[in-house]
């Protein structure tokens, strides 16, 4: 009679063990079936990224590399790009579930091995992103028959990411021409004696005084550019290479945001006039020679009324510059929400010239 309770107790604990084991098996099965997608393997050299939640994000956009290695917060998109939900991440562990992968050209153009070496998920967009000119964009053929969308300063890109643009003035916006104390300035970091812009400058400096800032010239900190350039009547926005729509911060930030009249050297005047009023800038091609350009600038220097005509457009419009790298990727999110047609670009270099 003493063994009865002992056997009953053993059966009781064995029953509890079976119930717990079955419950654990159900829990494991549920976890495995529902969470495998968010546990994609993390690849080497990844960075922290925001937590992914299907209830909060509609699209996953993967930065394959940080542009030029420069890292920045991906947690929030600035206005006006904050109306569409995306998970922006640099964590390659999200590759298999990413709706789109953005490849910054200068970071992956050195070798095809820098591109994904594992199968591409079906329907995944590959975006080619580049703000450099064709002259500084080698190995475009690496991307032939791989890219679905282009993102660049070219207005005919699938996703247009210019260095700057014009917006309508608000009623409270009032522009005052900054006080001027010097004639002309030029900020240049890439000094190539064989380039058209340097050769043009070498001739022009014989006729007018020009203060040159940058490497091998007068020092100028990045944060001081606008305040220093604003003291000059004219700023030479000379592009380092000449290509369609290649109009950079040299015009938008250095000249227009500083309140100086830009003297431009780049694509033809009609290209600039796609983005600016015709009386917002002076083009070097408007003059037969550097000497005649210099004569015109000296005339404007002595005629305040005529000089101020180059600012009349500012009564209705104002220049705006890019909000930085994050804005470009956020704009990609906005465009991807429009579900662009899925197609493959067969010859990237034929278009990007």
**Collapsing DSSP states into helix, strand and coil, what is residue 75?**
coil
- The answer to whether the beta carbons of residues 129 and 152 sit under 8 Å apart is yes
Is residue 184 domain-shared with residue 215, that is, in the same domain? yes
DSSP annotation of 178 reads P
Tell me: do 214 and 115 sit in the same domain.
no
CA distance 227 to 258: 7
> Per-residue pLDDT tens for 53-73?
343 458 999 999 999 999 999
State the residue range of the domain holding 274. Answer: 165-321
Assess whether pLDDT exceeds 80 at residue 195: yes
In this prediction, residues 307-329 reach a mean pLDDT of 96
- On the question of a cis peptide bond just before residue 80, with omega within 30 degrees of 0, the verdict is yes
Q: Dump strand ranges (E) for 143-224.
A: 149-152, 159-160, 164-168, 182-187, 211-213
Cα 185 from Cα 249, distance rounded (Å): 15
Residue 300, helix vs strand vs coil? helix
pLDDT in tens, 128-176: 999 999 999 999 999 999 999 999 999 999 999 999 999 999 876 789 9
| Residue 235 dihedral angles phi and psi, to the nearest 5° | -125, 130
In terms of domains, do 190 and 289 share one? yes
- 7 has pLDDT over 70: no
Mean pLDDT across the stretch 116-132?
97
pLDDT at 256 over 70: yes
Q: Rounded to an integer, what distance in angstroms lies between the CA atom of residue 274 and that of residue 277?
A: 8
Three-state DSSP class for 284?
helix
Instruction: Mark whether 239 and 255 lie in a shared domain.
Output: yes
What CATH number corresponds to the domain at position 174?
Answer: 3.40.50.11660
Residue 292: which residues within 8 A CB-CB, separation 6 or more? none
Question: Among 54, 56, 122, 132, which one carries the catalytic annotation?
Answer: 132
**pLDDT, position 44:** 30
Q: What is the pLDDT of residue 73?
A: 95
Count of domains in the chain? 2
Comparing 21 with 286, the larger pLDDT belongs to: 286
Evaluate whether residue 336 is within a structural domain.
yes
The question of whether 132 is a catalytic residue gets the answer yes
Mean local confidence (pLDDT), 238-243? 97
Q: What is the pLDDT of residue 160?
A: 97
In this structure, are 107 and 183 located in the same domain?
no
* CATH number reported for the structural domain that contains residue 69 in this entry: 3.40.50
Q: Are residues 132 and 210 in the same domain?
A: no
What is the mean predicted confidence (pLDDT) over 79-97? 92
Assign 3-class secondary structure to 233-276.
EEEEEECCCCCCCCCCHHHHHHHHCCCCEEEEECCCHHHHCCCC
Q: Are residues 313 and 199 in the same domain?
A: yes
| Helix intervals (H) in 275-351 | 290-302, 304-308, 325-336, 348-351
Provide the percentage of residues in the chain whose pLDDT is more than 70: 84
Round to whole Å and give the CA distance between 297 and 305: 13
pLDDT of residue 154: 98
Report if residue 128 sits inside a domain: yes
- CA 241/CA 202 separation, integer angstroms: 17
Residues 185 and 92 in one domain: no
Q: What is the pLDDT of residues 207-226, one digit of tens each?
A: 999 999 998 899 999 899 99
Q: Are residues 102 and 206 in the same domain?
A: no
What's the predicted TM-score (pTM) here? 0.82
């Amino acid at each position: 009679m003493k063994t009865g309770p002992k056997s009953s107790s053993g059966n009781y604990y064995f029953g509890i063990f079976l119930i717990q084991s079955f419950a654990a098996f159900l829990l494991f099965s549920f976890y495995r079936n529902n969470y495998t997608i968010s546990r994609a393997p993390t690849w080497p050299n990844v960075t922290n990224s925001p937590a992914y939640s299907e209830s909060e994000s509609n699209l996953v956009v993967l930065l394959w590399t940080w542009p030029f290695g420069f890292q920045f917060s991906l947690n929030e998109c600035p206005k006006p790009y904050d109306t569409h939900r995306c998970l922006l991440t640099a964590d390659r562990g999200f590759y298999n579930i990413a709706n789109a992968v953005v490849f910054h050209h200068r970071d992956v153009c050195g070798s095809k091995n820098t591109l994904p070496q594992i199968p591409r998920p079906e329907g995944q967009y590959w975006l080619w992103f580049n703000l450099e000119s064709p002259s500084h964009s080698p190995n475009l053929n690496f991307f032939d028959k791989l890219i679905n969308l282009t993102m660049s300063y070219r207005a005919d890109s699938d996703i247009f990411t210019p260095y700057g643009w014009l917006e309508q003035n608000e009623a409270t916006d009032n522009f005052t021409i900054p006080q001027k104390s010097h004639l002309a300035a030029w900020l240049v970091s890439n000094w190539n004696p064989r380039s058209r812009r340097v050769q043009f400058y070498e001739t022009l400096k014989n006729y007018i005084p020009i203060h040159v800032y940058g490497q091998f010239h007068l020092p100028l900190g990045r944060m001081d550019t606008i305040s220093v350039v604003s003291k000059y009547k004219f700023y030479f926005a000379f592009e380092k290479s000449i290509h369609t729509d290649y109009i950079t911060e040299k015009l938008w930030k250095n000249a227009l945001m500083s309140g100086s009249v830009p003297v431009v050297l780049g694509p033809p005047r009609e290209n600039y006039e796609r983005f600016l009023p015709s009386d917002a800038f002076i083009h070097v091609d408007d003059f037969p020679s550097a000497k005649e350009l210099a004569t015109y600038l000296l005339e404007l220097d002595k005629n305040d009324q005529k000089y101020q005509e180059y600012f009349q457009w500012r009564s209705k419009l104002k220049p705006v510059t890019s909000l930085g790298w994050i804005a470009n990727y956020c704009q990609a999110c906005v465009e991807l929400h429009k579900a662009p047609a899925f197609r493959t670009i067969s010859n990237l270099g034929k278009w990007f010239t």
